[in-house]
Amino acid sequence: MILCLDVGNITTTIGVVDDERLVHTARLRTDNFTADELGVLLTQILDRRGVARGELHGAICASVVPALRYTVLAACERYLELDCLWVGKGMRTGLKLRVDNPREVGADRICNAVAAAHRWGGPVVVMDFGTATTVDAVNHKNEFVGGLIAPGFRVAGEALFQHATQLPRVEVAPHEGSVIGKNTIDAMQAGLWHATLGSVNHLARVMREALDPAARVVATGSYGSLFGPASEEIAEVDRFLTLRGMALLYARNAG
């Protein structure tokens, strides 16, 4: 089994993968951990999941928070006695990155593309719903050809709360009532939901048409399970696609 760590701006997702099967997951709030704090949290989570540290033979991390690199590597070494692979420069991905500067492509986007190409093959479009909404394209040759980045659903809600003094912070959830809100909270939830869903459908459609009209559109990330089933453009939902990509990258680069 291997340990996969997806370190995002807001949350860190932890996965234990056994022979390409994701057998355990957990989430932490991404924080300014020390290596010892993170190490203790990891050992506690693994213990509660019934995973003996001796059963883990490797670890891999994909992070969009470069400042936490030392913390993650040190926590894995000190508390789990594991050398942790870092998704980034020099890693064998199995994909050609047909972009202007491959070093600019986020580790999470690479993992998503690797997993989508492995599971469905190109052409495929991956929409990752996190702090940002990323929409990435893998062509019929299984080449990563780029994508787009837009503000995420939660960021839009926080922007309203922070910049409009009379608007409250509202729950992030699908809006199933009337689009005509009868109070401020209903109006905000309706606006956030329908504005984002409309954007999701549009972005998925224009990306698919630019890549290949036959491309499959896949959703992942924190809010993928919210917008995936509601979108007329999204065919598949895999909340843990990034972790699956990390497991594949570990297999291609370990040893």
- Other C-beta atoms within 10 Å of 239: how many? 18
Per-residue pLDDT at 255 exceeds 90: no
3-class secondary structure, 112: helix
Per-residue pLDDT at 93 exceeds 90: yes
* pLDDT tens-digit readout, 157-216: 777 777 777 777 777 677 777 889 889 888 888 888 888 899 999 999 999 999 999 999
**Residue 186: partners with Cβ closer than 8 Å, 6 or more residues away:** 177
H or E segment to which residue 221 belongs: strand 216-221
Instruction: Write out the catalytic residue numbers.
Output: 108
How far apart are alpha carbons 38 and 46 in whole angstroms?
A: 12
Residue 118 pLDDT:
96
Cβ pair 121, 212 in contact under 8 A = no
Residue 174 pLDDT:
79
Per-residue pLDDT at 73 exceeds 80: yes
Same fold, 2-86 and 96-246: yes
* pLDDT tens-digit readout, 94-135: 999 999 999 999 999 999 999 999 999 999 999 999 888 999
CATH of 96-246, one of 3.30.9.30, 3.30.420.40, 3.40.50.300, 1.10.132.10: 3.30.420.40
Per-residue pLDDT at 24 exceeds 80: yes
Domain extents in the chain: 2-86, 96-246
* Average pLDDT in the chain: 92
Fold of 2-86: Nucleotidyltransferase; domain 5 (3.30.420)
And the tokens for 43?
């050992």
Q: Taking residues 32-41, report their average pLDDT.
A: 95
Q: How many CA atoms does the CB half-sphere of 242 hold within 13 Å?
A: 32
- Other C-beta atoms within 10 Å of 51: how many? 18
